[in-house]
Amino acid sequence: MAAPPDSTEQQLPNFDDLAMIDQLGLRVSWGVFGEDDRIGTVNLLTPDRTLAAIRTITTGEAIPLTLPLNEPRPIGQPRKPYVHTIFDINRNTADDFLDSYYLQGSSQWDGLRHVRCREFGFYNGADASSLGVDQWAARGGINGRAVLLDVDRYLSKHGTPLDQTAEMAISTALLEATCAYQNVSLSPGTILLIRTGWMTAYYEGDDERKSELVNSEATPGLEATENMARYLWNNGIAAAATDNTTFEVSPGNAETGSLHRRLIPCLGIPVGELWSLDAVAARCVAESRYEFFVTSVPLYLIGGVGSPPNAIAIW
């Protein structure tokens, strides 16, 4: 399936032409979208691209991509379950509030102040307080053409399903093979969703299995290498999310480094975790189409480190 035309005047520099923090061996996109930029690669979701993405809508059906706020359970440490209090204002009117609600305890976006590039600071050299999720909310959210790469289904079809409690790195070659298998292409401004099958295993498991999955230190995920950062940047990925707990392979190792660090503070790429992708994946299989429109509006929380994505696929 052909990708939509690139309608943006600005062409991203090649990853290997980006500035390098020599002390860390990390390339950064600081200044690419302007010295005062606070939204990162969400800049790639231009009005023209959003308008072009509407062509993927064929029925108008909405498919939720966000878990209930109290899933997954048992919630991982140090986070605790939230407390939901409902009270009556008077005999006709009720109100409610949440206590101890962790914004990254369920489906989430990691905001640009979630990870720092060590002593060199946050994305674009900005003050952390100016990089809250409110910056994405203020522009109307993260909306555009999404591509689902169903890595778990691709591997299962080829007889090598993922073990959800094993450390297995999903390589760029595997992402490319999945693209080819699904006949779908990435293009600048793509919201990339990657299904590992973690959520399927979670919902099919009993309480013991759920606890094992939530608390496992080992899980499949994207390889944390410079090559993965290069692949996502050079394909113009505006944001990327997975259905697992860690996005990148876990536990990983210090020699390879952190993909969260490579993407969030270095390149300004939003990272999502624990997205609910099974329903939209089933629809993709049924229709043999792996692109669709996604709209996601993070909380307008000033200075927020993370947020539920409040995301839906519009089919």
pLDDT digit string (tens) for 127-167?
999 999 999 999 999 999 999 999 999 999 999 999 999 99
Print burial letters for 132-165: b (CB count within 10 Å at least 16), e (below 16).
bbbbbbeeebbbbbbbbbbbbbbbeeeeeebebb
Strands 190-195 and 142-150: parallel
Residue 196: pLDDT above 70?
A: yes
Mean pLDDT of the chain: 95
User: CA 310 to CA 156: how far, in whole Å?
Assistant: 29
What CATH class does 15-75+103-314 carry? Answer: alpha beta
The residue assigned the tokens 């035309």 is 5
CA–CA gap between residue 275 and residue 222 (Å, rounded): 15
Is residue 61 predicted with pLDDT exceeding 80? yes
Q: How confident is the model at residue 77 (pLDDT cuts 50, 70, 90)?
A: low
Percent of the chain with pLDDT over 90: 94
pLDDT average, residue stretch 168-191: 98
Q: What contacts 67, CB < 8 A, 6 or more positions away? A: 106, 107, 274, 275, 276
How confident is the model over 211-234, as pLDDT tens digits? 999 999 999 999 999 999 999 999
Q: b/e map of 276-313 (b: 16 or more CB within 10 Å)?
A: bbbebbebbeeeebbbbbbbbbbbeeeebbbbbbbbbb
Q: Could you tell me the CA-to-CA distances from 260 to 57, 87, 248 in Å, in that order? A: 31, 40, 8
For residues 134 and 107, give the distance between their C-alpha atoms in angstroms, rounded to a whole number. Answer: 17
Query: N- to C-terminal Cα distance for the chain?
Result: 16
pLDDT at 8: 42
pLDDT at position 3 is 46
- Distances from the Cα of 190 to the Cαs of 6, 37, 121, 147, 284, in angstroms? 11, 20, 27, 7, 17
- Supply the pLDDT for residue 2: 41
- Residues 291 and 150: beta-carbon distance below 8 Å: no
The whole-number pLDDT of residue 76 equals 62
pLDDT tens for residues 122-138?
Answer: 999 999 999 999 999 99
Average pLDDT over residues 274-286: 98
pLDDT of residue 223: 98
pLDDT band at 5 (very low <50, low <70, confident <90, very high): very low
15 closest CA partner among 47, 50, 48, 41: 41
Q: What is the mean pLDDT of residues 11-35?
A: 97
On the question of pLDDT at 63 being above 60, the answer is: yes
Please answer whether residues 194 and 240 qualify as being in contact, where contact means their C-beta atoms are separated by less than 8 angstroms: yes
Max Cα-Cα span within the chain: 65
